[in-house]
Structure 1
Amino acid sequence: MTFQPIRLIALLASLLVLTALPVRAVASDDGKHTFVLVHGATAGGWEWKRTGQFLTDDGHTVYRATLTGLGERMHLNSTDIDLQTHINDVVNLILFEDLHDVVLTGHSYGGMVVTGVMDRIPERLKHVVFLDAAVPQDGQSIWDLFGSRGPMPADRFRDGFMQVPWVKPGDAPPHSVKQSIKCFEQPVSYRNPAALALPVTYVAFVPKDQSAQERASKDKSWQNAVARGWTIRTFPGGHVAQQEDPRGVATLIAESVDDRNTPVAAGQ
């Protein structure tokens, strides 16, 4: 076949346009996932280092978020930081890394953060895992969820921060740092219909000396998760089980991705 010069130029131009178009990665069915791990109050991404490494070793992609003012970002610490700041941290991590089909995982206070992220960008999420985490209702702060904070112990709450008195001057990093009280006072939004429809797993870390049944009867987060039809799992260990048994928690998170919500009847 022969081409006239003008037709040849047009063909080459169209090929250049096609090669310049952005290519979106297609989600694979190889069992490998993209995890965004969100730590709890006063901690940092360092808390997830070993669990994240096990997930990476298993072939997954892992992002360990560190919230503003905490962990290696403690130089940004301020009483002006609030829950919305931390929600923005994770939303922007996902958007600027252009992540899709994310398995979003939050621990403890991180449950407040991932709730806000769910509400903001549900279209970027594949599954959400609450690891011994706060499960608030729409419009609740973490203090609303757990009841009145009551009198403020002088060694825990002062100068606009929740203090960490077990960390002593001269302690080598990584360690917890103080955190703005506004993070605990600010309510979260959880009303986006697409967020409410996301598949979610709630995991309770249950120590050996505690009954899961007794915990379930008193734990508002657990009860909220049940009421929403989320998958409920338990895992043996203390509140920071991801540090006690990072291999076990990594396996648990990966297995949770296949969990599906149980439909809840209207009005429940």
Structure 2
Amino acid sequence: MQHLVLRTTLFFLAFSIAARSLARDSEKETFVIVHGATAGGWEWKATGKYLENEGHEVYRATLTGLGERYHLANPDIDLDTHIDDVVNLILFEDLHDVVLSGHSYGGMVITGVINEIPERIKHVIFLDAAVPNDGESIWDMFGSGGPRNDSRIENGMLLTPWVTEEATPPHNTPQSIKTFSQAVSYDNPAAKALDVTFVAFIPEDQSVEERSQSKAWRRAVERGWTIRTFPGGHVAQQEDPRGVANLMFECIGDVNTAR
């Protein structure tokens, strides 16, 4: 009788372990991460590593003329170039059911991507990112019509205060102003039907209420997207890469509200 109980116990233990393993395998996702302005895929290396350690497939896109592709930098690069970078990454790697995320300026890029290939996308995550309307550039969105007062333009390239080309790589680099002045298309009904999460990074000196007044947050609410917050500055992925990685996985189950 004791042997029967032992065998039964071992059977259910083995079944339980196998079930948990199967559940973990079924949760493996394909992430495509798009960085912000002047940065590169390097900025998401630590976050991507945490996702990969959990068995997920991670592609950290680096947009043309930035990061390790800085040798290709020129003033003719525009927003369409960067959208094509990510679209072609997804198509040529033959990716499906993609969890697509964009940080900061990356929100402009992923908006164009989902407008072109919504059938390849499972979920979209705007990480403290721009949320443009159809026919709007990032400068249009912020009503600036040009760069911030602390930035300058040289030879068709935008130089921000945090760009120090003399620094040891990896570092931020100048970026073509056409990427900021060109409007994005967001008119595909299939793209608008995708489930989207908007994540606002909340720095210590700002309240959630204050942060909720941003144009990006308000547009996300208007579109019925899920709103999440995460403690940290605008580059929270560098401050707490594990936390951001966990958050990105948690976002996948978010579903838009009816609008």
Equivalent-residue separation in structure 1 for 2:147 and 2:247 (angstroms)? 37
TM-score when scaled to structure 1?
Answer: 0.85
The match for 2:186 among 186, 190, 197 is 190
1:166 aligns to 2:162 (yes or no) = yes
Checking the alignment, whether the CA contact within 8 Å between 2:150 and 2:161 is kept in structure 1 is no
Larger Rg: 1
Q: Shift of residue 151 of structure 1?
A: 7.4
Match of 2:43 in 1: 47
Q: Which residue type is aligned with residue 255 of structure 1?
A: E
Equivalent-residue separation in structure 2 for 1:80 and 1:150 (angstroms)? 17
1:215 aligns to 2:199 (yes or no) = no
Match of 1:71 in 2: 67
Equivalent-residue separation in structure 2 for 1:38 and 1:194 (angstroms)? 21
Checking the alignment, whether the CA contact within 8 Å between 1:164 and 1:176 is kept in structure 2 is no
Match of 1:263 in 2: 258
> Secondary structure of the equivalent of 1:128?
strand
Q: Which residue type is aligned with residue 180 of structure 1?
A: S
Equivalent-residue separation in structure 2 for 1:197 and 1:50 (angstroms)? 31
RMSD, matched Cα: 1.5
Q: Shift of residue 211 of structure 1?
A: 1.0
Equivalent-residue separation in structure 2 for 1:34 and 1:238 (angstroms)? 26
Equivalent-residue separation in structure 2 for 1:29 and 1:58 (angstroms)? 10
The match for 2:239 among 231, 235, 244 is 244
Equivalent-residue separation in structure 2 for 1:257 and 1:152 (angstroms)? 34
Q: Which residue type is aligned with residue 142 of structure 2?
A: F
Deviations 1:229-254 (A, max 9, x none): 00000000000000000000000000
TM-score when scaled to structure 2?
Answer: 0.88
> Secondary structure of the equivalent of 1:54?
helix
What are the ranges of 5 or more consecutive residues in structure 2 without an aligned counterpart?
1-23
The match for 2:77 among 54, 69, 81 is 81
Match of 1:228 in 2: 223
Q: Which residue type is aligned with residue 141 of structure 1?
A: S
What is the aligned length?
Answer: 236
1:118 aligns to 2:114 (yes or no) = yes
Matches within 5 A, 1:2-151: 30-149=26-145
C-alpha change, 1:126 and 1:159, in structure 2 (3 Å) is same
Match of 2:16 in 1: none
Q: Shift of residue 170 of structure 1?
A: 3.1
C-alpha change, 1:91 and 1:229, in structure 2 (3 Å) is same
Q: Which residue type is aligned with residue 229 of structure 1?
A: G
